[in-house]
Chains A and B, each alone.
Chain A
Amino acid sequence: MSDKKSVSQKLLSFLGRNSVPIMFMLICAVCIPLSGFSAGYLVNEIVTRMGRNTFLILCLLFPIMAGMGLNFGMTLGAMAGEIALILVADQQIWGIPGIVLAMIVSIPISVLLGWMCGSLLNMARGREMITSYIINYFVGMGLYQLVVLYMMGPVIPIKHASIKLPRGYGIRNTLSLLNMRQYLDDFLAVRVGGIKVPVLTFLIIGLFCLFIVWFRRTKLGQDMRAVGQDMEVSRDAGIKVERTRIISIIMSTVFAGFGMIIYLQNMGNIATYTSHSQIGMFCIAALLVGGASVERASIGNAFLGVTLFHLMFIVAPKAGAAITGDSMIGEYFRVFASYGVITLALVMYELKKRSMKSHAGQELALAQKEEGADK
């Protein structure tokens, strides 16, 4: 009897822990038949989107490791990647050399932005997430536009008229990367049953995963985990807490820059003023859909999240149209879902923290009861 109970309890706690991914699995399971897409089409889409997004999502793991929560500031890295691509495109360096060069150019920009962001977050301890969100908002809306819309041309030389606005300075709304489009994906690509597998991109992602696994075993990785769990204890043990936290944000920003370049080479064009704005939100939502929480996230969460979130992205508009006859409903639904899942994750995190607190009290009461029974 007690065995049975413990099994059902285990099942319940498993369901409780993984409620978000299970919910999205159910949504997908309902929507897939309704949307009427073929399996081949869906797999193809998922593989493409996996190659496009996974790298970006993985870069969120570093700040979570260091206890700084979900880094909305990864958008800064995305901006650095975009600026690097614009500069490289202006030099007319295309193909894989262009992509590699853009990655190299993005590093100093990302490091600078990441250092700024990390220093600010050190001043706002305990409120990192909202602070990084606001940083992303101001830097994205203000600084980035100032640089790209006004300084590119007069201050930062831009040679090619094709990427400049007709007025002579600033960058066009959309920038074509036709000569770079899917170069990374097509190199070494294999077709399996009509599905294109971007082997090189997956290889890069795989290497990044290996790097993360290896990184956890380094001194710096160990320090980050220690700092993430208890800053005071780490400081007493002689770990440089502030420095470690800044490094984790810089790493996240640099890799977000790389991720954005991978993302944009797949898309084939840059929406200069909007590409980055949703990226942070969607990546965070995807990671959370994969079952991550504010304080714990794994590589597995990233892959599961990318699959589920984008599967929902693909099928929801069609399914919505099939149910209501209005394709906008599905469109709304996916925006709603990405905001909703972030809210849900944050609320659940807070609830868990509270229940832990009352749990300690319950244990005390229980111990007292048992004591009373003994007497």
Chain B
Amino acid sequence: MQNIQKDFFGNQVLTDINFTLGAGEVLGLCGENGAGKSTLMKILFGMDVIRETGGYGGNVLLNGQKVAFATPFDALAAGIGMVHQEFSLIPGFTAKENILLNREPKKHNVISEVFGERLNTLNYKEMDARSAQAIEKMGVQIDADMTISDMPVGHKQFTEIARELSKDQLKLLILDEPTAVLTEKEAEALLQSIRGMSARGIAVIFITHRLHEILSVCSKVIVMRDGCVVRDVPAGKTSVQDITKWMVGRSVQTGAAHAETAVQEKNAKTILSIRNLWVDMPGETVRNVSLDICEGEILGIGGLAGQGKLGIPNGVMGLYEAGGTVEFEGKEIPLNSPRKCLDASLAFVSEDRRGVGLLLDESLEWNVAFPAMQIKEKFLKKYLGGIVKWRDEKAIHAVTTKYIDELMIKCTSSKQKAKELSGGNQQKVCLAKAFALEPKFLFVSEPTRGIDVGAKALVLDALKKFNRESGVTVVMISSELEELRQTCDRIAIVSGGKIAGILPASESSEEFGMLMVSQVK
């Protein structure tokens, strides 16, 4: 790949990426979330999203020839296979059927001569042989006749790999965090099979957050950060510490701009205590989390994507199935019922602002005032002893204008529809909505996702101000460590669905980096 560049609507996410990969080489690719790993792989694999957002710059050369894939199918035909993080398997089919999905060997018959190829019957013997061959190539034993839904997670992952290996033209295999769901032993088997593949001349790009795996299997390591390749070294000449530092370490000038850390009273009382929480949120599973949050602090929850940091607020607020105990101001809060949480003066700004956060087709006034009306019965005029309740339009207008000014929401008027605003301004409306509730406790999930730098600073300042002036406890979840370090008092790092550790924000970023990639047993 040469000089790969990509921007999403003017937002540069990849700059000047160069690397080469020989047949049978194993390349380890690592970097924090948002470093551009996935985007890079999407370009290589010809995913639709790249073309829809305006293509990319630079060249991809395969065997010395310039290639540009319009669809993943072209990439497959050229010999590039990809195993995604999410499984793409048919649950009710056996491993064999999944391995050969839509590439089943067929037998001709009379009816298919008349009605076309799709009425050819499947050749089950040939299917057996070919799936067995693919499984053997992989070098890990799985049962070809087992139904996917009965399989342990690891075997599902192996089925996917076998599917790619069953393609004869395969030259390059991309594995996107294949070991994230595997047990230690399975991961070892996978690494073994990667070595086997490379011995057969198949090149592998291996994306993982478990750094020791990279060192043990790869011939070359590329570390990415903020859309650039920061290091490209042979695996033999580096160590886990080095890679961590390259991954997390900002360039010196931004790293130094550290926010003042408020002096935390050591004996502040605990306002929310979470015990043995589990949350069944797809892709963000939380296991056995216990966490105490002190009154008046800003606690950050960080960690890599898919490790469960989003699961914590969603579970506590009752949006996903959860269990365990949560106590707020000494009283237990029932899980799985959002209303009870809201009644207890907790509020939540969701990461899914278009889906959960906003009423897109309604005006800003409505968006800001709606939850407050619903939960706290604010902005209502009561008649006939409370039987008839009318909206207090004036009060709603006043409070909306106040927040529009305070948060500098760019809009034509407070009656504008929420969907007409830009992402950053929508996020501010979400915050205004939560502020209008006047909660005692606020969860803010990914408040800066997808918004520009200016808006980011404003949102963070608003949160900090809200915390310091109104004494509201804030828990902020973000994938951007630097942002957490600027805003929060303490930061908890989540890894593998569990809390890996809690550190004060002044700790060095290497410390946080180590926690992020550590495996909690």
Contact = CB atoms under 8 A, between A and B. Distances in A.
Q: Do A and B bind each other?
A: yes
Interface of A: 214, 217-220, 222-223, 225-226, 229-230, 232-234, 236-239, 357-358, 360-361, 364-365, 367-368, 371-372
A236 B88 contact: yes
Interface string B258-299: 000000000000000000101010000101100000000000
Given A217-B122, A219-B117, A372-B288, A226 B101 contact: yes
Most buried by B among A217, A223, A357, A361: A361
Contact of A361 (B89, B101, B112, B280): B280
State which size class the interface on B falls in.
20 to 34
A220 B322 CA distance: 41
Nearest to B106: A219
Given A360-B280, A361-B280, A226 B119 contact: no
B328 interface: no
6 contacts: A217-B122, A219-B120, A230-B90, A239-B101, A357-B321, A368-B288
Contacts of A219: 104, 106, 117-122
A218 B101 CA distance: 13
A224 to B, nearest CB: 10
B90 A233 contact: yes
A314 to B, nearest CB: 37
B321 A361 contact: yes
Nearest to A230: B90
Interface stretch (B36-44, B91-99, B371-379): B91-99
Interface in B85-138: 88-93, 97, 101-102, 104, 106, 112, 117-122, 124
B519 to A, nearest CB: 15
B8 interface: no
A67 to B, nearest CB: 10
B323 interface: yes
A222 B97 contact: yes
B72 interface: yes
A176 B97 CA distance: 51
A233 B88 contact: yes
Given A225-B93, A236-B88, 19 more contacts: A217-B124, A218-B112, A219-B104, A219-B117, A219-B119, A219-B121, A225-B90, A226-B93, A229-B91, A229-B93, A230-B89, A232-B88, A234-B90, A361-B321, A364-B280, A365-B278, A365-B323, A367-B287, A368-B287
A218 B118 contact: yes
Contacts of B117: 219
Contact of B121 (A214, A358, A367, A368): A214
A172 to B, nearest CB: 38
Contacts, number: 83
Given A229-B93, A236-B88, A364 B285 contact: yes
B19 interface: no
B78 to A, nearest CB: 15
Interface string B350-370: 000000000000000000000
Contacts of B119: 218-220
B390 interface: no
Highest count of chain A CB atoms <10 Å: which of B72, B102, B276, B321 = B102
**Max chain A CB contacts within 10 Å: which of B72, B112, B120, B288?**
B288
Given A217-B121, A220-B118, A233-B88, A238 B102 contact: yes
Question: 5 nearest interchain CB pairs?
Answer: A361-B321, A220-B118, A361-B280, A237-B102, A233-B88
Nearest to A239: B102
Contacts of B102: 223, 226, 234, 237-239
Contacts of A238: 73, 102
Nearest to A365: B323
A229 B92 contact: yes
A233 B89 contact: yes
Contacts of A367: 287
B127 to A, nearest CB: 10
B473 to A, nearest CB: 26
B171 to A, nearest CB: 19
B96 to A, nearest CB: 12
Contacts of B89: 230, 233
A374 to B, nearest CB: 11
Contacts of B322: 361
Interface string B24-37: 00000000000000
A368 B323 CA distance: 10
A361 B104 contact: no
A76 B91 CA distance: 32
A195 B204 CA distance: 71
A374 B93 CA distance: 35
Contacts of B97: 222
A358 B280 CA distance: 9
B90 A372 contact: no
Nearest to A243: B118
Interface string B312-332: 000000000111000000000
A19 to B, nearest CB: 22
Interface in B147-204: none
Nearest to A236: B88
Contact of B104 (A222, A230, A371): A222
Contacts of A237: 88, 101-102
Nearest to A369: B276
B414 to A, nearest CB: 36
A172 B278 CA distance: 67
A360 B73 CA distance: 34
A185 B72 CA distance: 55
B49 to A, nearest CB: 13
Contact of A358 (B93, B124, B321): B321
B211 to A, nearest CB: 25
A230 B149 CA distance: 13
A235 B285 CA distance: 27
A86 to B, nearest CB: 29
B278 A364 contact: yes
Contacts of B118: 218-220, 223
Interface string B457-471: 000000000000000
A220 B119 CA distance: 6
A230 B86 CA distance: 13
A325 B228 CA distance: 87
B100 to A, nearest CB: 10
A207 to B, nearest CB: 13
A220 B111 CA distance: 12
Nearest to A358: B321
B11 to A, nearest CB: 27
Given A361-B322, A364-B287, A225 B278 contact: no
A225 B92 contact: yes
